[in-house]
Amino acid sequence: MYLPKFRLFFGLFLLFLASKAQDTTTYQLRLDAPVLDVPQNTQLPYFAPSTYQALEWSNDFYELGFWGIDKLGDKIFLPKTKPYTRSRKFWNGVFKYGTSLLFSRYFSELPIPLGVWAHEECHKAVLGVKGLHAKNGNWMLNRWDGTVYGLSDSSLNQLKGGSPDELLYSYVAGVQYEIALNEKTTLNDFYKRRSLPKNALLLYNAYYVYNYFKFSASSLSDSVKVLAPPHESSDPEERDYAGSDLTAWVYDMYNPKEAFIARDSFPGGDGVNRRVGFSDLSPEAQNFLVKQKNLSLLNFLNPALFFVNRIRVSSNFSFNAFAQYAPTHFGNAISLIVPMQYEKYDLLLNLTNYTNKNSGGLAIAFGLYNYKWSERFESDISASFWQQPTSFLDDTNINGGSLSLKGRYYFKTNFAGYLTVMAKTKGWAMSNPYLSSNVSLQLGVNYNLPCR
């Protein structure tokens, strides 16, 4: 039902096309710092960060890390007086990739705005939309253990009883962060050439999501359910609210009417054992989780993981194409994302299939990015139309979509301020914690450092 609308809008995009060359600038560093995001900064039980801020701030820290690795590799392997031989270039590349992979793997766990911190912030934001003030257990001012804590059993029981979809969304919002960051990174490194693309981060994030599913869909999750409680607080509010996110997600999807407080008692303390093991799932739920584990391998189908950031067809046309799997509150979303550059135009096409237990729906999205209206002003526009399952067990669909408009004004050549307005109807959208209709506004600054 949305195909005619898509043809109309995409046709309007094609009218913009002219005979100007693509941007060939190579960038060392690109920072995007959102300083205000409303209504999240005004409606959540805490001021910041919103999901968008968590994504961007963590991406900025990765940018700075990769920039430092890029500089360090050149300092070691790039001679000042001798020729830059093929051998030196090769070992420089090996050093940079190996170091950036180690950085992505181990520094992501630090209690600063990197991977695990942002993962937990995305859990927090979805809970915060429902008025629950959770704390990030991977933050230097709190603690360093990769949890989301500060919630009572009764508050989680009320959330499941009154807003089960929001509880389910909160479980998977964490791994959606890694998936969203990979999408952002792939698109950024496609549209803007980089001195050191974040290919290693893409590989690690895809592995992280798959490995989390692998752990959850095995007896290891049963072992942790037994081994972890002796090391947890006897106070329920000091314990992680979900335990293993993905087993809790599948358990509550298949048992929406069961009270949260009906879970097993916590050994040696008050309340319930929030951890759900693989053996706690019904055979049907176990098969579903194993299937999701296998589907998460789709996130490895990204040429940028294998150093192909763009496929150049001609001097004025390049493209790429990658798959994306994401667990959702109603099941999953599987996308084919195709960024394109035609002459000076940065375009995007996104086709998505949604699936719940017994049915599904489709979505189509498109975008025009980095469009220059003048030397100082450029804009992004994206729109999507969707037909989503209402919930995991409900075969009815939600028809809707979203529209995002972003304008950047360059105060200097590489320093800009921006304003984004994003509106969506009822339904799920990546990196947006609201399942209800919502209008959001973001203000921020952008800094780009090109190679000399």
End-to-end Cα separation, the chain, in angstroms: 49
Binned at pLDDT 50, 70 and 90, residue 23 comes out as low
Asked whether residue 5 carries a pLDDT value surpassing 90, the answer given is: no
pLDDT tens digit sequence for 331-368:
999 999 999 999 989 999 999 999 999 999 999 999 99
List residues bridging with 380 in a β-sheet.
Answer: 406
List residues bridging with 326 in a β-sheet.
Answer: 333
Query: Which tokens belong to 426?
Result: 């009822």
DSSP 8-state class, residue 272: B
Q: What is the pLDDT of residue 2?
A: 39
Query: What gap in Å lies between CA 256 and CA 164, rounded to an integer?
Result: 7
Segment 86-109 shows an average pLDDT of 97
Segment 248-264 shows an average pLDDT of 97
Q: With a threshold of 0.85, does the pTM exceed it?
A: yes
Residues 422/404, Cβ–Cβ less than 8 Å: yes
Segment 166-176 shows an average pLDDT of 98
DSSP 8-state class, residue 436: S
Residues 418/408, Cβ–Cβ less than 8 Å: yes
Closest by CA to 369, choosing from 360, 358, 380, is 380
Asked whether residue 17 carries a pLDDT value surpassing 50, the answer given is: no
Asked whether residue 153 carries a pLDDT value surpassing 50, the answer given is: yes
Whole-number Cα distances in Å, 385 to 281, 400, 403: 34, 6, 9
Kindly give, in sequence order, each residue whose CB lies less than 8 Å from that of residue 148, ignoring residues fewer than 6 positions away. 120, 123, 124, 127, 134, 135, 136, 137, 240, 241, 242
List residues bridging with 451 in a β-sheet.
Answer: none
- Which amino acid is present at 174? G
Query: Which tokens belong to 186?
Result: 């792939």
> 331 by DSSP, 3-state: which?
strand
Residues 427/328, Cβ–Cβ less than 8 Å: no
Query: Which tokens belong to 406?
Result: 């972003």
Asked whether residue 180 carries a pLDDT value surpassing 80, the answer given is: yes
Segment 311-329 shows an average pLDDT of 97
Residues 167/252, Cβ–Cβ less than 8 Å: yes
Percent of the chain at pLDDT > 70 equals 95
Segment 287-296 shows an average pLDDT of 98
Asked whether residue 6 carries a pLDDT value surpassing 70, the answer given is: no
Segment 376-386 shows an average pLDDT of 97
Asked whether residue 18 carries a pLDDT value surpassing 70, the answer given is: no
Binned at pLDDT 50, 70 and 90, residue 80 comes out as confident
- Which amino acid is present at 425? T
> What is the chain's mean pLDDT, rounded?
94
Binned at pLDDT 50, 70 and 90, residue 14 comes out as very low
Q: What is the pLDDT of residue 10?
A: 43
Binned at pLDDT 50, 70 and 90, residue 269 comes out as confident
Binned at pLDDT 50, 70 and 90, residue 3 comes out as very low
Relative to beta strand 26-38, strand 193-194 is: parallel
Q: What is the pLDDT of residue 333?
A: 98
Domain boundaries, the chain: 3-450
Helix, strand, coil share (%) of the chain residues, nearest 5: 40, 30, 30
Place of tokens 């947890």: 232
Binned at pLDDT 50, 70 and 90, residue 319 comes out as very high
